[in-house]
Amino acid sequence: MAAKNTDHFAQLCNYAGKAVADFNMIENGDRLLVGISGGVDSMMLMHILTRLQKRAPIQFDLFAVTIDEGFEGLNHAPLLAYANEHGWNLKIIKTPIAELIIKKETENKPCGLCSRLRRGFIHGYADEIGANKLVLGHHRDDLCVSLLMGLFRGTGLKTMSPNTPADHSTKRVIRPLCYAPKNLIETCAQKYNFPDTGQCDYSEQLKEKGDRARIERLLKQLEADFPNLTKNMLHSMSDVRPDYLLDKRHLNDL
């Protein structure tokens, strides 16, 4: 492994540590299951949690899982080798998701079905090992994109919660990188020799036509005119003012 960029990695760890503390994400005795895709976000997250596990004043167990969807463009063998090299307890679960996307004729919008099926397999493995918290690598930019997607689609003012109940409240989903900007994560990742696992069969399609990719491009364009855009959006998400919105359920609270 290449040497860490100490300054950037320390900054990323500080973001994660603050988020963990602010939202009470990790408690003594937790069994954490980290979803690893092979992308830089989840890989950096695993390195951060490994460091935290060694330094934190509490004890928690750390596991990792990767869902093999069966896409021809993906090869998870290098990921498993990397995990073994770093002592990560990684389980790769082979699934028929790629076949089911074709069978259900959802190739034009594959992410919805894929994400639902992946969650099911992850929760199943969490139950198998007794994990009480699922850890995902979503970062600040992801929260901003999700907020805009809900706004544009009319599905409510919402985003990815840093600490939320899941699976009928039998577990919780936590996102320690929720404060961290995407560019910092990518900068840190340059100092690591992460394995190349390929890409999803629909990757190019999603980059070109996917809603999330379009909004990511929009945010980059807006950042030129609105400096610190995602940082300011994160601050706004932490300062909700119902009396300035139109939700009638809050009328009695005003």
Polymer length in residues for the chain:
254
> What pLDDT band is residue 18 in, cutting at 50, 70 and 90?
very high
Kind of pairing between the strands at 171-174 and 163-166:
antiparallel
Inside any domain, residue 1: no
201-233 pLDDT, tens per residue?
Answer: 999 998 888 899 999 999 999 999 999 999 999
Q: CA 146 to CA 85: how far, in whole Å?
A: 34
Q: Is the pLDDT of residue 193 over 80?
A: yes
Q: What are the phi and psi torsion angles at 122 (to 5°)? A: -65, -45
Inside any domain, residue 181: yes
Q: CA 225 to CA 168: how far, in whole Å?
A: 42
Q: Which helix (H) or strand (E) holds 141?
A: helix 140-153
- Helix then strand then coil, in percent of the chain rounded to 5, is 50, 10, 35
What pLDDT is attached to residue 6? Answer: 60
Q: CA 199 to CA 11: how far, in whole Å?
A: 29
Contacts of 221 (CB under 8 A, 6+ apart): none
Q: Is the pLDDT of residue 253 over 90?
A: no
Inside any domain, residue 214: yes
Inside any domain, residue 150: yes
Inside any domain, residue 58: yes
> What pLDDT band is residue 7 in, cutting at 50, 70 and 90?
confident
Q: Is the pLDDT of residue 1 over 80?
A: no
* Three-class secondary structure of residue 57 per DSSP: coil
DSSP string, 162-194: SEEEETTTTEEEE-TTTTS-HHHHHHHHTTS--
Inside any domain, residue 213: yes
Question: In the predicted model, what is the mean pLDDT of residues 152-158?
Answer: 95
Question: First-to-last CA distance in the chain?
Answer: 56
Q: Return the CATH number at 95.
A: 3.40.50.620
Mean pLDDT of the chain: 93
Q: Is the pLDDT of residue 97 over 60?
A: yes
Q: Whose CA is closest to 182, among 214, 147, 137?
A: 137
Question: In the predicted model, what is the mean pLDDT of residues 32-49?
Answer: 97
The pTM of this model reads 0.93
Inside any domain, residue 83: yes
Inside any domain, residue 179: yes
99-146 pLDDT, tens per residue?
Answer: 999 999 999 989 999 999 999 999 999 999 999 999 999 999 999 999
Q: Is the pLDDT of residue 4 over 60?
A: no
Q: CA 46 to CA 210: how far, in whole Å?
A: 27
Question: In the predicted model, what is the mean pLDDT of residues 82-110?
Answer: 95
Can you give the residue range of the structural domain that contains 214? Answer: 6-253
Domain count, the chain: 1
Q: Is residue 78 within 8 Å of 195, Cβ to Cβ?
A: yes
What pLDDT is attached to residue 135? Answer: 98
Q: Is residue 162 within 8 Å of 154, Cβ to Cβ?
A: no
Residue 96 identity: P
Contacts of 42 (CB under 8 A, 6+ apart): 34, 35, 36, 136, 137
In DSSP terms, 33 is beta-bridged to: 63, 134
